Amino acid sequence: MKKIMVTGALGQIGSELIMKLRSEYGADNVLATDIRHVMSNVTESGPFEILDVTDAKSMHKVAKDFGADTMMHMAALLSATAEKNPVFAWNLNMGGLLNALEVSRELNLQFFTPSSIGAFGPSTPKKNTPQDTLQRPTTMYGVNKVSGELLCDYYYERFGLDTRGVRFPGLISNVAKPGGGTTDYAVDIYYKALEEGKYTSYIAEGTYMDMMYMPDALQAIVDLMEADSAKLKHRNAFNVTAMSFEPSQIAAAIKKEIPAFEIAYDVDPIRQAIADSWPDSIDPSAAVEEWGFKANYNLDKMTVDMLEKLKVKLG
Ligand code: AKB
């Protein structure tokens, strides 16, 4: 049985990843770590440790004491927050990743970390963006993500560390809200649809971005980590996506369930500039070919499920 340590366990992905891993591999085999403790399913359903990922010594000790054989490094600042504080973002995103890779090398752990569509930039082909292409991002987050992809490849080539990763699109979930991302509008819109019947989007109509529903994202992580190493030609930064849409299309999908729903626009120039620098849609065929990536949710199916789950959550 695997012994998996997860950093950033109380974040948007971590909150659900921990529960999925605990149900697949056993609660005691999945150690959740985060810089803060907030009483939740994550902290109450299995082992939890406070950990600042910029503290390499503590990270080593926590991983060693737990007897980890796998590291999933999720702690990171998202794109819009990183743009507000680029030096802090560099230190946290790159420092945390380097520490997680070093600890994994020292203890010989299988390693996962997510990259993002943010690793692409304005000169990247915009439509059906290939797996291997031009990457000149113009955001601090993007610079971190490209550097991280290269660093993970380096640890595999140089030290034989079993590093694996995907480029996630915007992730939509009904458990923990994302914080400080550019694609967050596609989560907020569901909350506001139920709470107020309307939503004002900070992303302009016509701005396409890739998205994926959280259950598909979690399954992708498990499938990639379980994949036969010999079949992986790319190891890190696999393009994965389930759908590409722009704000009026998600609004139309919500309108099918809540006919009175209305969308308006009040564009935030910072997040709009980030979105404009990212692809409209990416090509996940390398992930499909090398480890059988598959997404089960399209926009309509996700919308029905999101609204159903959020109705219960919001009461
Ligand atoms: C963000 O918007 O920053 C993230 C991402 C696409 O990496 N959701």
Q: Measured between alpha carbons, how far is residue 4 from residues 34, 69, 191, 311 in Å?
A: 14, 6, 32, 33
284 and 300 together in one domain: yes
84 and 176 together in one domain: no
Atom number of ligand 1 nearest to Cα 180: 3
pLDDT value at residue 179: 86
180 and 69 together in one domain: no
| Helix/strand/coil for 268 | coil
Is residue 295 within 8 A of residue 172, CB to CB? The reply is: no
200 and 99 together in one domain: no
162 and 247 together in one domain: no
53 and 32 together in one domain: yes
- 94-111: pLDDT as tens digits: 999 999 999 999 999 999
Give the residue whose CA is nearest to atom 1 of ligand 1: 181
Q: Tell me the CA–centroid distance for residue 162 and ligand 1, in Å.
A: 25
Among 78, 93, 240, the mutation site with the greatest number of ligand 1 atoms within 8 A of its Cβ is 78
Among 83, 93, 177, 184, the mutation site with the greatest number of ligand 1 atoms within 8 A of its Cβ is 184
Q: Which two tokens stand for residue 168?
A: 């996630």
Q: What is the CATH number of the domain that holds 219?
A: 3.40.50.720
Q: Tell me the CA–centroid distance for residue 274 and ligand 1, in Å.
A: 10
95 and 228 together in one domain: yes
Atom number of ligand 1 nearest to Cα 114: 7
84 and 155 together in one domain: yes
Q: Tell me the CA–centroid distance for residue 181 and ligand 1, in Å.
A: 5
Atom number of ligand 1 nearest to Cα 116: 7
Please give the positions annotated as active site.
141
Q: Which residues of the chain have pLDDT under 50?
A: none
Q: Which two tokens stand for residue 174?
A: 């009904």
Instruction: Report the C-alpha gap between 124 and 137 in whole angstroms.
Output: 9
Q: Write down which residue in 239, 254, 288 finishes a domain.
A: 239
Give the residue whose CA is nearest to atom 6 of ligand 1: 170
Q: Token match 């139309």: residue?
A: 252
Strand partners, 245: 209
Q: Tell me the CA–centroid distance for residue 209 and ligand 1, in Å.
A: 10
- Bridge pairing between strands 238-239 and 166-168: parallel
Q: Tell me the CA–centroid distance for residue 283 and ligand 1, in Å.
A: 17
Structural domain including 277 reads: 171-211+243-314
Atom number of ligand 1 nearest to Cα 209: 6
42 and 57 together in one domain: yes
Q: What is the CATH number of the domain that holds 258?
A: 3.90.25
75 and 192 together in one domain: no
**What is the pTM (predicted TM-score) of this model?**
0.97
Instruction: Report the C-alpha gap between 237 and 131 in whole angstroms.
Output: 8
Q: How many domains does the chain have?
A: 2
Q: Token match 């891993």: residue?
A: 21
Q: Tell me the CA–centroid distance for residue 106 and ligand 1, in Å.
A: 30
pLDDT value at residue 1: 86
Strand partners, 262: 198
Contacts of 233 (CB under 8 A, 6+ apart): 286, 290
Integer-rounded Cα radius of gyration of the chain: 19
Among 141, 185, 210, 244, the mutation site with the greatest number of ligand 1 atoms within 8 A of its Cβ is 141
Q: Which residues line ligand 1 (CB under 6 A)?
A: 78-79, 116-118, 141, 168-170, 178, 181-183
φ and ψ at residue 245, rounded to 5 degrees: -145, 170
229 and 280 together in one domain: no
Atom number of ligand 1 nearest to Cα 79: 3
247 and 302 together in one domain: yes
